[in-house]
């Protein structure tokens, strides 16, 4: 424990206090959403005068919310599948060209993360509608989502490659295994947990995305975030929206739990992107 004593006691106490305050500020608004989903007052006056399960029943039967949830799951699955294949291929391809064009590539990887979503979204809408003349549909959402999902998969896979090097695969090739056999028996098992983390992150990103989605969705394709946003300002829908929000707060524990089970370290791979 001695190495933990590098800061003075007073400073450690004030850091601990600040940490506590920040954590409270982080969690109080989320807790409010949970409590308000039981708040009997449909304008959510605080403190709640009485509690009810009515809104949860109402939300359970809301067809709009159910449809939107299903759309979101479809989009997220498709975008994740595309990102897994292309992101892995990109990382594998880049392994061989170590020096050539590396700076260009790293900039290319950073851009979709660093540029605001509204720029990406508008660029895609413009590309689809004005330049290519394609009608917006579920597929245009999937293509746009896949673009930033590729980045996350690529980052995860590339980090794994850098850590493990290529000697195992060389050994496999030396022992007479072909390219495909090597991939199937050596490379893929090596990447498995990185791919799972990348897939989890991609799914989460796509599921939650609203800005790019707004720009690339046609008017009758509603993902869950779009449904929430459209119903947010309708007073009679507010309690249902609040229940959906509460469900999403609780559901956010699932990927964290999965990631813990998966790698034992949450920090790796799950922090690199929005």
Give the footprint of other proteins on residues 238-267 (CB under 8 A).
Answer: 241-242, 245, 248-249, 252-253, 255-256, 260, 266-267
**Cα–Cα distance for residue pair 18/273, rounded to 1 Å:** 26
Backbone angles phi, psi at 173, to 5 degrees: -65, -40
Per the structure block, which two tokens stand in for 211? 């800005």
Total residues at the site for other proteins (CB under 8 A)? 89
CB of 55 to other proteins, least distance (A): 14
Among 75, 76, 79, 143, binds other proteins (CB under 8 A): 143
Between 183 and 207, CB nearer to other proteins: 207
Distance between CA atoms of residues 257 and 181, nearest Å: 33
* Nearest partner of 107 among 151, 169, 160, 48, judged by Cα: 151
150 contacts other proteins (rule: CB under 8 A): yes
Instruction: Quote the CA–CA distance of 240 and 227 in Å, as a whole number.
Output: 11
Alpha-carbon span 172 to 185, nearest angstrom: 9
DSSP for 21-76, written as a single string: HHHHHHHHHHHHHHHHTTBSSTT--SS-SSB-SHHHHHHHT-HHHHHHHHHHHHHH
Which is closer to other proteins, CB of 183 or CB of 215?
215
Footprint of other proteins on 56-95 (CB under 8 A) = 86, 90, 93-94
Give 92-97's long-range contacts (Cβ < 8 A, gap of 24+): 92/157, 92/161, 92/187, 94/158, 95/161, 95/166
* Span 19-48, contacts to other proteins by CB under 8 A: 19, 22-23, 25-30, 32-33, 36, 43-47
Nearer to other proteins, 48 or 77 (CB): 48
Cis omega (within 30 of 0) for bond into 43: no
Q: Is 6 in the site for other proteins (CB under 8 A)?
A: yes
The minimum distance between CB 63 and other proteins, in angstroms, equals: 20
Which listed residue (42, 52, 56, 127) binds other proteins by CB under 8 A? 127
Asked whether position 142 contacts other proteins by CB under 8 A, the answer is: no
Determine the interface stretch with other proteins among 63-71, 168-176, 184-192, 226-234 (rule: CB under 8 A).
226-234
Q: Pick the closer one to other proteins by CB: 182 or 223.
A: 223
Nearer to other proteins, 26 or 175 (CB): 26
**Which of 18, 162, 170, 218 touches other proteins (CB under 8 A)?**
18
- Between 95 and 168, whose beta carbon lies closer to other proteins? 95
Q: Are 117 and 212 in contact (CB under 8 A)?
A: yes
Q: How many CB atoms lie within 10 A of CB 79?
A: 26
Candidates 2-10, 133-141, 164-172, 188-196; binding stretch for other proteins (CB under 8 A): 2-10
| Strands (DSSP E) found in 82-139 | none
* Cβ proximity to other proteins, 158 vs 172, nearer residue: 158
What token pair was written down for 82?
């595309």
- Name residues contacting other proteins, limited to 178-207 (CB under 8 A): 204
């Amino acid at each position: 424990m001695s190495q933990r004593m590098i800061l003075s006691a007073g400073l450690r106490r004030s850091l601990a206090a600040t940490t506590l305050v920040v954590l409270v500020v982080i969690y109080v608004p989320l807790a409010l959403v949970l409590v308000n989903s039981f708040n009997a007052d449909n304008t959510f006056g605080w403190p709640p005068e009485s509690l009810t399960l009515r809104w949860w029943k109402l939300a359970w039967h809301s067809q709009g919310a159910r449809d939107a949830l299903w759309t979101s799951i479809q989009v997220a699955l498709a975008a994740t599948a595309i990102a897994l294949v292309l992101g892995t291929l990109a990382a594998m391809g880049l392994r061989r060209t170590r020096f050539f064009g590396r700076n260009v590539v790293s900039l290319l990887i950073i851009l979709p993360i660093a540029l605001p979503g509204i720029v990406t979204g508008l660029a895609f809408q413009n590309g689809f509608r004005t330049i290519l003349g394609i009608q917006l549909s579920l597929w245009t959402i999937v293509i746009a989502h896949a673009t930033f999902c590729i980045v996350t998969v690529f980052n995860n896979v590339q980090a794994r490659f850098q850590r493990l090097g290529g000697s195992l695969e060389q050994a496999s090739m030396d022992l007479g295994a072909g390219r495909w056999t090597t991939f199937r028996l050596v490379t893929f098992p090596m990447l498995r947990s990185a791919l799972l983390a990348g897939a989890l992150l991609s799914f989460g990103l796509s599921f939650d995305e609203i800005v790019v989605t707004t720009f690339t969705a046609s008017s009758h394709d509603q993902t869950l975030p779009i449904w929430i946003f459209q119903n947010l300002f309708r007073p009679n829908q507010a309690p249902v929206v609040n229940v959906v929000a509460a469900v999403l707060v609780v559901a956010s524990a699932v990927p964290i739990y999965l990631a813990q089970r998966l790698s034992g370290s949450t920090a790796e791979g799950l922090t690199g992107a929005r």
